[in-house]
């Protein structure tokens, strides 16, 4: 449908909140791992997707969720996953 917002699990797809919750020492390694697995060639692409200015495809969302789950963080909201 035209005009419908792209969503991942009911939220606008950006992972800035989750990325900000990562310890600073891990941000670059997480960024590089996501970029490699998604086939993103530039950090510009990464940051555009992180901010939500470029569409995140469902397979990319799964990759993002996988990498953030290692740190018990929900990428879309920045919430900590409690066990």
Q: Which tokens go with 10?
A: 């009911």
Residues 22 and 30: beta-carbon distance below 8 Å: yes
11's CB contacts (< 8 A; 6+ apart) are 76, 77
By residue range, what is the domain housing residue 34? 16-69
Number of domains in the chain: 1
Indicate whether 79 belongs to any domain: no
Give the pLDDT of the chain (83 residues) as one tens digit per residue: 334 454 555 445 899 999 999 999 999 999 999 999 999 999 999 999 999 999 999 999 999 999 999 999 999 999 999 87
**Residue in 28, 3, 12, 1 with CA at minimum distance from that of residue 61:** 12
The answer to whether residue 46 is domain-embedded is yes
Residue 7 within any structural domain of the chain: no
50 located within any domain = yes
Tokens read off for 69:
């789950």
The Cα–Cα gap between 41 and 45 comes to 7
């Amino acid at each position: 449908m035209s005009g419908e917002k792209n969503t991942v699990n009911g939220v606008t797809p950006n992972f800035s909140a989750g990325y900000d919750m990562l310890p600073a020492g891990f941000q670059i390694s997480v960024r590089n791992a996501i970029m490699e697995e998604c086939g993103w060639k530039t950090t510009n692409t990464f940051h555009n997707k992180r901010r939500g200015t470029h569409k995140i495809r469902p397979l990319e969302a799964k990759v993002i969720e996988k990498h953030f789950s290692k740190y018990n963080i929900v990428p879309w909201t920045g919430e900590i996953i409690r066990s």
